[in-house]
Structure 1
Amino acid sequence: MDYEIRVVRPEEWPAVKELRLAALLDPVAPLAFLETYEQALARPDVFWQDRAAGASHGMAARQFVAVGSDGVWAGTVVVLVEDEGAVDFFGEVVEERQAQLVGVFVRPEARGRGVTEALFSAAVEWALGVDGVARVRLHVHEDNARAAGFYRKFGFVRSGGAVPNPGDPSKVDHEMVLRVG
């Protein structure tokens, strides 16, 4: 199946919600996401409307989706632009303008078909085109070997930074940065 990789549109908030709920049902969701299925399900429609609208344009965030020829969304990645001096969602002060990839999910039936690579390529290209973005990073839970393996294959390397996992402070999320050039 062919996939179109593109940015979400504001009116597609129901699909944004559906894909996020599907992601939160994945067996590795507790390692990969900072919210539960129940928390996301309880959010009002206006939350999803704002989320889709905010990630569809502007320079603070962008959500990319892989849309199959059948119209089904196969996967997603979100790019957050973090400005110097801002505090990221782990509570750390950002030292230079950078982009962080979050919310990565590809449906099981679409894995191994190049969807994740295509999503990451689009996300990284956009991120590096944002004025002043010096690097692209992400965080991966120490027990999420599947994700870490893909990130390494794509060109991310551990920076040496790590933060306690918000859901289980006895575990860490390792920072990985993209080798550029």
Structure 2
Amino acid sequence: MSRIGKNPISIPNDVKVSIDGTVITFAKGNVTQVLDTRGNCGVALEDNALSFSTNSDHRQDRAYWGTYRALAANIVTGLTAGFEKKLEINGVGYRAAVNGSVLNLQLGFSHDINYEIPAGITIAVDKNVISIKGADKQQVGQIAAEIRSFRPPEPYKGKGVKYADETILRKAGKTSKK
């Protein structure tokens, strides 16, 4: 039995929720997000609380029950508070700057990397910290992973792009025999 799926999601007053068959639509202002449960679980909206139930006792349906509840909770959190990931740039000469809708990265290559910022995402750079903010948790995490993949941190000096809360395990350098 899903422990996550049992818990109802409280819906704030400024978020509008509508259920049409297997499709749940969340809206706040001009931002709309859709969740399709594909008939694997039941959804009910009662007293500003969204609750999920399983349609059958099949293992797959019980797994979807908790998954769809977690996805709906992430959508509500994204519409109210938003999500943020922070990346740190470590290395001599490594820089980042935002020019309009383009993130310009100088990461030690012979060329600059220009990353096009998608709609709905805001990126801010403060010294060596890149802040990525948005309403979609999956999109924020994917963009952070793509930016990190341009120059992942190396284990000897720790140079590269890393998550702010990530710790890099350092390796010992070469030693000389005596």
| Structure with a larger share of its residues in helix | 1
TM-score tier, shorter chain, comes to under 0.3
Query: Over alpha carbons, which structure has the higher Rg?
Result: 2
Give the TM-score taking structure 2 as reference length. Answer: 0.26
More strand as a share of residues: 2
